[in-house]
């Protein structure tokens, strides 16, 4: 297994923090435009509303967005953000393309497939959130699955829109597994981990940040799991990106540029001060039902394995290495059976990123 490069940033323990209900429960949150951000510097400035969809539930890994709202980075760019929870990358991509949202978070590789099927509604990524992909297959140790090859003939489960599930054919191809040998089952997101530990399925596809914290809470810590990160098995994929319609980008270039700048400032702050990021998320949680300990663990996983890599250390946050992206596009296009492989420039537009020195960590 390739050595995993990590940059560990520890979250301080908060004594006596209450363990509330799990944040993996269904959320139905919708945030009104953040016009309360207006300060002395922006009081006379009319803020432009931008609608944004998350790719999943509002969680600690959304600290970059939460900090940028709380510290008024968006308002300083003349932006008021309205954001909603997501239901998986496939769903968020469709909603961005249809104009339900102006900007959203999703998987570039699913976006690539969407673009080939919908050439008149093309989307493009403008900034990277996770430099390393969180896509994973997870099995409990008692299932006896200690390598991807042992997934042959097994029962796997995930929500229908799960991005890791969508990319299963590619993962199977690069690991030498017959992709059609497994049986996929649709499950409710909130039941996925519980059904796994109950033995209803042999393994699940997931984001590691989504499934590992609830599994730990169920008594299945890392020592009782076999986790196969796609990034460790031949798929050096990027994780979620900020995605927009090409038509929206053409009509609102400065708005997108300002959104990206504010978001990446929030990402920088999250990496430098994770406790501040966690606090911002908790403050924005309307229902007050977030399990703070679980969210702390979730953010730590992202800090240790997703946000930062040697590439980010060298080139700054938000961008891509064109050669790396092109390699992964070729892998995914083959796995998806696409007729054409887009260029990295067609999938990712770096023209809306702040200067590299402003994206350093």
Output the pLDDT for position 289. 80
The pLDDT of 175-179, averaged and rounded, is 94
pLDDT band at 44 (very low <50, low <70, confident <90, very high): low
- Other Cβ atoms within 10 Å of 237 Cβ, number: 27
| Residue 298 clears pLDDT 60, i.e. is over it | yes
pLDDT band at 11 (very low <50, low <70, confident <90, very high): low
pLDDT band at 90 (very low <50, low <70, confident <90, very high): confident
Query: Which phi and psi angles does 71 have, rounded to 5°?
Result: -90, 10
Which tens digit of pLDDT belongs to each residue from 125-166? Answer: 999 999 999 999 999 999 999 999 999 999 999 988 788 898
Helical H segments across the chain, by residue range: 63-70, 73-76, 89-98, 108-117, 163-166, 168-175, 192-197, 208-217, 246-251, 253-272, 274-284, 292-305, 310-315, 322-336, 344-347
d(CA 361, CA 359): 7
Least confident of 15-24, 184-193, 199-208: 15-24
Task: Give pTM, 2 decimals.
Answer: 0.86
| Residue 20 clears pLDDT 60, i.e. is over it | no
Output the pLDDT for position 60. 97
**Residue 78: which of 56, 108, 46 has the closest Cα?**
46
pLDDT band at 35 (very low <50, low <70, confident <90, very high): very low
Sheet containing strand 203-207, strands side by side: 183-186, 155-158, 203-207, 135-140, 225-229
| Residue 14 clears pLDDT 80, i.e. is over it | no
The pLDDT of 15-39, averaged and rounded, is 40
Strand 241-245 and strand 123-128: the pairing is antiparallel
Contacts of 205 (CB under 8 A, 6+ apart): 135, 136, 137, 138, 156, 157, 158, 162, 164, 165, 168
DSSP reduced 3-state for 93: helix
**Residue 35: which of 26, 46, 25, 27 has the closest Cα?**
46
d(CA 249, CA 124): 9
| Partner residues linked to 105 by β-bridges | 242
Pair 329, 93: CB distance under 8 Å: no
Output the pLDDT for position 7. 38
Percent of the chain with pLDDT over 70: 88
Output the pLDDT for position 43. 53
Number of H helices, E strands in the chain: 15, 10
Burial of 223 (0-12, 13-18, 19+ CB in 10 A): exposed
| Residue 25 clears pLDDT 50, i.e. is over it | no
d(CA 24, CA 58): 9
pLDDT band at 324 (very low <50, low <70, confident <90, very high): very high
| Residue 193 clears pLDDT 80, i.e. is over it | yes
The pLDDT of 22-41, averaged and rounded, is 42
Which tens digit of pLDDT belongs to each residue from 231-267? Answer: 999 899 999 999 999 999 999 999 999 999 999 999 9
């Amino acid at each position: 297994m390739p050595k995993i490069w990590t940059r560990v940033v520890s979250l301080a323990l908060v004594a006596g923090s209450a363990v509330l209900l799990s944040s993996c429960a269904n959320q139905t949150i919708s945030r009104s435009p953040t016009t309360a951000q207006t300060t002395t510097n922006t009081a006379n400035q009319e803020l432009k509303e931008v609608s944004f969809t998350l790719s999943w539930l509002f969680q600690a890994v959304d600290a970059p967005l939460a900090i940028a709202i709380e510290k008024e980075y968006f308002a300083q760019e003349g932006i008021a953000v309205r954001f909603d929870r997501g239901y998986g990358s496939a769903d968020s991509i469709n909603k961005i393309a249809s104009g339900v949202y102006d900007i959203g978070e999703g998987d570039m590789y699913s976006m690539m497939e969407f673009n080939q099927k919908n050439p008149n509604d093309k989307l493009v990524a403008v900034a990277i959130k996770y430099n390393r992909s969180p896509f994973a297959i997870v099995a409990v140790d008692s299932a006896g699955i200690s390598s991807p090859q042992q997934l042959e003939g097994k029962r796997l489960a995930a929500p229908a829109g799960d991005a890791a599930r969508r990319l299963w054919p590619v993962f199977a191809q690069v690991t030498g597994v017959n992709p059609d040998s497994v049986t996929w089952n649709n499950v409710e997101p909130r039941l996925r981990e519980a059904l796994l530990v109950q033995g209803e399925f042999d393994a699940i596809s997931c984001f590691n940040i989504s499934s590992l914290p609830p599994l730990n809470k169920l008594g299945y810590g890392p020592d009782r799991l076999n986790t196969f990160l796609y990034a460790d098995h031949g798929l050096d994929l990027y994780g979620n990106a900020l995605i927009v319609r090409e038509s929206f980008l053409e009509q609102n270039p400065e708005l997108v540029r300002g959104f990206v700048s504010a978001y990446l400032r929030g990402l920088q702050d999250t990496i430098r001060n994770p406790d501040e990021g966690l606090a911002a998320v908790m403050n924005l949680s309307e229902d007050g039902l977030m399990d703070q300990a679980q969210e702390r663990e979730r953010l730590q996983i992202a800090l240790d394995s997703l946000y930062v890599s040697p590439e980010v250390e060298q080139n700054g946050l938000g961008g891509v290495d064109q050669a790396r992206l092109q390699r992964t596009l070729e892998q995914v296009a083959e796995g998806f059976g696409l007729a054409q492989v887009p260029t990295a420039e067609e999938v990712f537009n770096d023209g809306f990123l702040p200067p590299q020195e402003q994206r350093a960590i």
